[in-house]
Amino acid sequence: MKKVLNNYSSKNDVNIRQIVAYRDNILEIEEYREGFTREDTMNVMSVTKSITSLLIGIAIDKGFIKSVDDLIMNYYKDIYTPKRGEKTIYEVTIKHLLTMLAPYKGKSEPWKKVCTSDDWSLTILDSLGGRYGITNEFRYHTLGTQILLGIIRIASGMNVLEFANEYLFKPLGIEQRVNANCTSKEDQFNYLMNRNPHGKVWFMDPSDMPTAGWGLSLSAYEMAQIGLLVLNNGVYNNVRIISEEYIKEMTQSYVSLDYKFGNQDYGYLWWLPHRSEDVIAAIGDGGNIIYINKKHNIVVAVTGYFKPMVFDRVEYIEKNIVEALIK
């Protein structure tokens, strides 16, 4: 088994805990630091968003959801009533949420309002829409992704954690996740900042809904299996888990972003770091990442503890790991 070469480092690689890499579907690199093992997990932060996208694709494949073009209020109409005068919300589609092109009221996300409520997916709907209509402006909105998992719950009639365990994690050989049971502000802070292994858990709101935009705990090895699924267009160990059609839609570019977002493109809650479908990534704070290089048939997964302003993990992977694998 090849070793990671230390020919490139950065000031932001000190928080790395696990590195796993495959080329041509063969495990080539496993590196664990600070006592971590293959089984240990970290809160992979916004990598969770990309998992949410996969779950939407599975729900479409199974007929629970008709299309990404479905209006979100077609699902919420029986359990949520928009505020008087709100019209834009009736035009918002699932695709708007997947591409971060949904419109929201206010300049910032209402974290306190949502995170102190009993049902986050319903509460965040109060912020969706607004008087300017559908502008197709990119707004990176973590809480808004919660609406997507709410749609899966409504459409499938299943608890979303059970849905994910049954239709995504189990076929990938990933041990089922359970509720992280963070009930206090202190629990939530510890879950975010803890540098130690988190267990096989997913942060959930009081309605037993997993957080869609952050809070899933995975190991680098588990993330690499998800990367292999995407690299192989929805097939894992010769079993189709998600349609090739959705994978291709998910990894297309829908938005081209400027330097504020690293000059990357955006698909369905997945990043295109080089504005090309040759390289796609699920990226979370702390440098947590699933990196997929289609040109070289490479998957790299990295976990790390929360460390603000880690933006160069793609560069780190390409200069330190990809170069080692293609030599």
Q: At what angle do helices 220-231 and 47-61 cross, to 10 degrees?
A: 50
Instruction: Give domain status of residue 104, yes or no.
Output: yes
Angle between helices 47-61 and 146-156 (to 10 degrees): 30
Domain end among 118, 153, 188: 153
Domain assignment present for residue 4? The answer is no
Tokens encoding 85: 């005068």
Residues 303, 252 share a domain: yes
pTM for this entry: 0.96
Q: How far apart are CA 84 and CA 16, in angstroms?
A: 48
Q: Of 128, 153, 178, at which residue does a domain stop? A: 153
- 183 and 311 share one domain: yes
Low-confidence stretches of the chain (pLDDT < 70) are 1-12, 308-311
Same domain, 37 and 131: no
Same domain, 22 and 118: no
User: What local confidence, expressed as pLDDT, does residue 37 receive?
Assistant: 96
Same domain, 138 and 79: yes
Asked whether residue 53 is assigned to any structural domain, the reply reads no
C-alpha dihedral sign at 132, 137, 142, 145: positive
Query: Which tokens belong to 324?
Result: 């080692």
C-beta contacts of 165-172 below 8 A and 24+ residues apart:
167/55, 167/58, 167/62, 167/241, 168/51, 168/54, 168/55, 168/58, 168/241, 171/236, 171/239, 171/241, 172/222, 172/225, 172/226, 172/229, 172/236, 172/241
Are both 89 and 149 inside the same structural domain? yes
Q: Are residues 132 and 240 in the same domain?
A: no
Same structural domain, 20 and 81: no
CATH number of the CATH domain containing 276 = 3.40.710.10
For residues 149 and 179, state if they share a domain.
Answer: no
Instruction: Flag whether 114 is in a domain.
Output: yes
Q: Are residues 298 and 195 in the same domain?
A: yes
Q: Is residue 95 part of a domain?
A: yes
293 shares a domain with 169: yes
- Residue 58 domain flag: no
**Cα–Cα distance for residue pair 35/18, rounded to 1 Å:** 10
Could you tell me if 178 and 206 lie in one domain?
yes
Number of domains in the chain: 2
pLDDT at 8: 52
Range of the domain at 112: 73-153
| Dihedral sign (CA 247, 248, 254, 258) | positive
pLDDT computed for residue 248 by the predictor: 98
- Of the residues 97, 121, 153, the one at which a domain ends: 153
What pLDDT does residue 102 have?
Answer: 98
pLDDT of residue 252: 97
Is position 278 within any domain? yes
Q: Considering the domain boundaries, does residue 200 fall inside one?
A: yes
- Residue 305: predicted pLDDT: 87
